[in-house]
Amino acid sequence: MSTQYWLMKSEPDECSIDDLEAAPGQTVPWFGVRNYQARNFMLKEMRVGDGVLFYHSSCPVPGVAGLAEVASAPYPDASQFDPASPYHDPKSPRDKPRWSLVDVRFKRKTRLLPLKEMREAPELASMVLLKPGSRLSITPVTPEEWAAVKHRLAHPPT
DNA sequence: GCCAACGTTGGC
DNA sequence: GCCAACGTTGGC
């Protein structure tokens, strides 16, 4: 199977690209996803080595802040069973966990590619992230979109 | 802090 | 299985 690509949103207050770089093994478990569509991407479609656009959300300048990769097969998200966690899900059966995650490994920081610039870029108009009303925290990225983002990262507007 | 969009819940 | 109420996301 050929390489797939994803965009994954993270609040920099929770886990920024710098936090990912500083993490043990430069890898973090992508815990806390509580949306079935986003979960299914991790559970059913991601493969180790898939490319990830690391996106900062809910912050002063939202946008792509770095590149990462899928670093594990899916496994159950431990936070669903932790009563102290904000991600605790009392309805998730121990023997049949509702929520799974993958590990994500740091590749490199990039310049910040702001959401505003992405919206203004015709070659990125097809991205799921930019669809009106889109709120998914994990979205697929086509090879063409991946290439266009990398090109734009390397060639900032003047 | 506002609010539009969207997902989930639960009564019926 | 419908759908109104409610909660969440996330840009602005």
- Can you give the residue range of the structural domain that contains A63? 5-152
> Do the domain assignments include residue A57?
yes
Calculate the angstrom distance between C1' of C8 and CA of A58. Answer: 13
Query: Which residue's alpha carbon is at the shortest distance from the C1' of B8?
Result: A35
Say how many domains are in chain A: 1
Strands, E assignment, chain A: 5-10, 27-29, 51-56, 63-70, 75-76, 100-101, 103-114, 138-141
The pLDDT of residue A84: 87
> Do the domain assignments include residue A23?
yes
> Do the domain assignments include residue A158?
no
> Do the domain assignments include residue A15?
yes
Mean pLDDT for A32-54 is: 96
Tell me what percent of the residues of chain A surpass a pLDDT of 70.
99
Query: Which residue's alpha carbon is at the shortest distance from the C1' of C10?
Result: A58
For residues A3 and A50, the answer to whether their CB atoms sit within 8 Å is: yes
Calculate the angstrom distance between C1' of B3 and CA of A66. Answer: 30
Q: Which of the nucleotides in strand C have any atom less than 7 Å away from a protein CB atom?
A: 8-12
The amino acid at A122: P
For residues A43 and A30, the answer to whether their CB atoms sit within 8 Å is: no
Q: How far apart are CA A111 and CA A117, in angstroms?
A: 12
pLDDT in tens, A75-121: 999 999 998 888 999 888 888 899 999 999 999 999 999 999 999 99
The pLDDT of residue A1: 66
More confidently predicted of A90 and A34: A34
CATH code for the domain in which residue A76 is found? 3.10.590.10
> Do the domain assignments include residue A98?
yes
pLDDT in tens, A44-65: 999 999 999 999 999 999 999 9
pLDDT in tens, A109-148: 999 999 999 999 999 999 999 998 889 999 999 999 999 9
In this complex, the nucleotide whose C1' atom is nearest to the CA atom of residue A36 is B7
> Do the domain assignments include residue A68?
yes
> Do the domain assignments include residue A157?
no
The pLDDT of residue A90: 86
> Do the domain assignments include residue A148?
yes
Pairing outcome for strands A63-70 and A103-114: antiparallel
In this complex, the nucleotide whose C1' atom is nearest to the CA atom of residue A58 is C10
